[in-house]
A and B are shown apart, each in its own frame.
Chain A
């Protein structure tokens, strides 16, 4: 089954304790992306990756890091989490056809609470 898998689904942690949210897709997609969803703000892009070792900032990259060492994985790293990073996070992937209309496939979301 084609899917994007995020882990963990829920996490409560404390300020300053490094955490990683993993994302893996089994569709051999070139493009992957991270979003955060906050009430009244919709989804905002944090980082994206057009292929292995190619990443770039989205709209709200501050406080986050990513890496793309393998095509299937795109982890989101919070080096020193703060309460304003409490949010619902989504990983997404799609085929990287230039100019294509391929929709993004989303993971089921990760609810992070930073105390």
Chain B
């Protein structure tokens, strides 16, 4: 079974500052994938960034980057130069590879961006 834990129900950041959202996971799979999804007030689920567990290099997408610590089973999301449009609920998710297609989500972190 997989579990994903987001220990910060809410976070806030000043516009243009940097914020880090925490995520830890547990899985018995040796081959798995990690994702961060953003859910703005429109309720859409938008993929922010993804990381293959076999890759040591941390994924980066523009202002979004991850700190993937495989041994610690940690997968944090860093948002640089925060913008008002970054305000949303953020979900961390883990999916096993191979025959296990299940995507397990954390409970989410609500990010507020203050002007």
Q: Which residues of A line the B interface, CB within 8 A?
A: 31, 33, 35, 40-45, 48, 50, 58, 88, 90, 92, 96, 98-101, 103-104, 106, 108-109
Determine the chain A residues whose CB is within 8 A of the CB of B103 once the complex forms: 33, 45, 92, 104
- CB of A33, distance to nearest CB on chain B (Å): 7
Q: Which of B82-111 contact A (CB under 8 A)?
A: 91, 93, 97-99, 101-108
B102 touches A48 (CB 8 A): yes
Segment touching A, from B13-21, B43-51, B62-70: B43-51
Cβ of B31 under 8 Å from chain A: yes
Q: How many residues of B contact A (CB 8 A)?
A: 25
User: Complex formed: what's the CA distance from A64 to B27 in Å?
Assistant: 27
B102 touches A101 (CB 8 A): no
A44 touches B105 (CB 8 A): yes
Cβ of B75 under 8 Å from chain A: no
9 contacts between A and B (CB under 8 A): A31-B101, A33-B101, A33-B103, A92-B103, A98-B97, A98-B99, A101-B52, A103-B35, A106-B45
Determine the chain B residues whose CB is within 8 A of the CB of A96 once the complex forms: 101
Determine the chain A residues whose CB is within 8 A of the CB of B45 once the complex forms: 90, 92, 106, 109
Tell which of A42, A88, A99, A109 touches B105, judged by Cβ atoms closer than 8 Å.
A42
Determine the chain A residues whose CB is within 8 A of the CB of B33 once the complex forms: 101
Known A41-B107, A103-B35: A109·B44 in contact at CB below 8 Å: yes
Known A40-B107, A101-B52, A103-B50: A50·B91 in contact at CB below 8 Å: no
Give A100's nearest chain B residue, CB to CB: B97
